């Protein structure tokens, strides 16, 4: 009933919420996109979107249909990728999603194991937030995702909790606190730390931990990534508060870390689509990630 162009437009409208933005993303004019949507709705016999304050909102019928639209388009794109891989001699493909700090810490050694076991596999790594990676898994755009957050309670996504996380202080080796074996959240908060932005799960947990203890939330810098917070600390701009993966990354950069607080939420987790069998390379990656986490926990 729908061709590829129509599926692309529907997905763009669902994600971007306006006809103008959706049209631009699929190289259409706004009038042409509006006309195509009207034509699709006429053929279906019901409206897919309602409009409020120039924003698009799925109707109940649209909400029922959009998962299949996304699945259909993901299937078409998977066929395209496979065809390219076959032409180029790569008969297997592995698409991975990861939050930035996992992509720069846990993922590389685990992927090295995949390459040893499947040397011909073509690997794509996609970065994103936890919510974006979960959406990628739902849409079959990734085989496996690594997130920091709460494992999703979604029927079409499976998840595996890899490890609990904590908050850690990060500082250069010449910092006055570097030789101390104990350091408290109170001390770091009073000094004015470098923190992760509250939009990030670990940044939100930092703010909540401070507020729960009646401590001031007066960061000198907010960073959008753990690696950036560590880099700022390395330059002597302050002590950074990051989650456990950020601390793992910091130690690899020669920085000093001290645990401040254990967290119940967020956690480190893997996610993947429940309605698609996991490929052999993805299974190797899952095993490699679990092994890497166990090694990391044993050291910590």
CATH assignment of 165-263, among 3.40.190.10, 3.30.420.40, 3.90.380.10, 3.40.50.300 = 3.40.190.10
- CATH class for the domain made up of 4-70: mainly alpha
34 confidence band (pLDDT: 50, 70, 90): very high
What whole-number percentage of the chain has pLDDT above 70? 96
**Fold of the domain spanning 92-163+267-298:** D-Maltodextrin-Binding Protein; domain 2 (3.40.190)
pLDDT at 85: 64
Q: How far is CA 8 from CA 15, 32, 73, 90, in A?
A: 11, 14, 7, 27
Per-residue pLDDT, averaged over 84-91, amounts to 60
Model-level pTM? 0.67
Across all residues in the chain, what is the average pLDDT? 89
pLDDT by residue (tens digit) across 145-190? 999 988 777 677 889 999 999 999 999 999 999 999 889 999 999 9
Lowest-pLDDT range of 27-36, 86-95, 107-116, 202-211:
86-95
- pLDDT higher than threshold 70 for residue 282: yes
223 pLDDT band, cuts 50/70/90, is very high
Q: In the chain, where does the domain assigned CATH 1.10.10.10 lie?
A: 4-70
Q: Which of 149-153, 253-257, 277-281 has the highest mean pLDDT?
A: 253-257
Q: How far apart are the first and last CA of the chain?
A: 55
Where, residue-wise, is CATH 3.40.190.10 in the chain?
A: 92-163+267-298, 165-263
Alpha-carbon distance of 87 to 207, in angstroms, equals 51
């Amino acid at each position: 009933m729908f061709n590829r162009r129509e599926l692309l437009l529907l997905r763009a409208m669902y994600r971007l919420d306006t006809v103008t933005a959706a049209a631009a993303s699929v190289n259409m004019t706004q009038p042409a996109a509006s006309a195509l949507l009207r034509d699709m709705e006429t053929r279906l016999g019901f409206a897919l979107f309602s409009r409020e304050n120039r924003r698009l909102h799925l109707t109940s019928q649209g909400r029922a249909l959009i998962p299949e639209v996304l699945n259909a388009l993901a299937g078409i794109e998977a066929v395209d990728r496979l065809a390219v891989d076959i032409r180029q001699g790569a008969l297997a493909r592995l698409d991975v999603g990861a939050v930035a700090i996992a992509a720069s810490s846990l993922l590389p050694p685990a992927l090295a194991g995949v390459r040893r076991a499947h040397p011909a596999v073509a690997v794509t790594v996609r970065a994103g937030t936890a919510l974006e990676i979960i959406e990628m898994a739902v849409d079959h755009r990734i085989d496996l995702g690594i997130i920091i957050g709460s494992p999703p309670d979604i029927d079409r996504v499976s998840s595996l909790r890899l490890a609990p996380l904590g908050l850690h202080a990060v500082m250069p080796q010449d910092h006055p606190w570097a030789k101390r074996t104990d350091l408290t959240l109170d001390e770091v908060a009073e000094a004015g730390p470098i923190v992760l932005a509250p939009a990030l799960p670990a940044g939100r947990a930092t703010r909540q931990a401070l507020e729960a203890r009646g401590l001031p939330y007066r960061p000198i810098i907010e960073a959008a990534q753990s690696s950036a917070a560590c880099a700022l600390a390395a330059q002597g701009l302050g002590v950074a508060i990051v989650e456990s993966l950020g601390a793992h990354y910091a130690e690899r950069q020669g920085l000093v870390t001290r645990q401040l607080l254990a967290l119940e939420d967020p956690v480190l987790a893997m996610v993947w689509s429940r309605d698609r069998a996991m490929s052999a390379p993805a299974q190797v990656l899952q095993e490699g990630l679990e092994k890497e986490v166990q090694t990391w926990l044993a050291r910590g």
